[in-house]
Amino acid sequence: MKVVRAVGLWAVGVSCLWGAGLTAVLAQTEDVNDMPGASIVRRFRPPQVDLVRFQPMPADHRLLNEPKIKLLARKDGYEFCSRITGAPISATSRPMACAYWNVKRRECTVVTPEVTGFNYVGHEVRHCFEGAFHD
């Protein structure tokens, strides 16, 4: 499995959720087994409640099966996500992560601020499999 070096262990942690079902690729790629702390990450299992929440639907119900997923952690993550989704930035709420996908090419990109949370990334990665599932 290949992951983005720029996001380091974040990508590893998220990728572990889906095991072989998730193939994250990027321009700069590296085998997770060669990365520092790989043995710890391999043993990591998220809490069961998160597994349920982030578990994508069975393959035949997904919008993108076996998508290529790119993770981008950016300084302007909040502003970028607000701009492409229309979600406002206010004192009480702001987009903590966002995703966009190309159905035909089975490609998906998750964008976050530099500091984010496992739950936000997991939620967006689920979108990478299922597309828009909120309604």
Partner 1 sequence: MIDAPVLAVPRMRSLDRRQCLKMALGLAWAGPAVTTSAQSIKPRMKVGFIAHYQPYSFLQADGSLTGFDVEVVKALLDASGFEMVPVTDSLTQLRKKLRDSEIDFIGNQLLRTPENRRQFDFVNSYATIQLVTVLHEDDDRDFLSLENFLGKNLGVLSNTGIDEQARGVLGKTVRGFERIEDALRALAERKLDAVLEENLIAEYFIERDELPLKVGTPFAAPIRAGLAVPKGNKNLENRLNEAVKNLVKAPRFKAISSRWFGYDVSRPRVSFATGV
Strands 68-74 and 23-24: parallel
How far is 89 from 92, CA to CA, in rounded Å?
8
> Site mask, partner 1, residues 86-105, x = CB under 8 A?
xx----xxxxxxxxxxxxxx
Closest CA to 98 of 130, 73, 75: 73
Nearer to partner 1, 38 or 50 (CB): 50
Residue 15: CB minimum distance to partner 1, A: 18
Contacts 24+ apart (CB under 8 A), 37-44: 37/9, 38/12, 41/9, 41/12, 41/13, 41/16, 42/16, 44/13, 44/16
Select the residue interacting with partner 1 from 9, 16, 35, 72 (CB under 8 A): 72
- Choose the binding region for partner 1 from 12-20, 38-46, 54-62, 80-88 (rule: CB under 8 A): 80-88
60 part of the interface to partner 1, by CB under 8 A: no
| Residues near partner 1 (CB under 8 A) | 26-27, 63, 70, 72, 74, 76, 80-81, 83-87, 92-105, 107, 109, 111, 117, 119-120, 123-124, 127, 131-132, 134
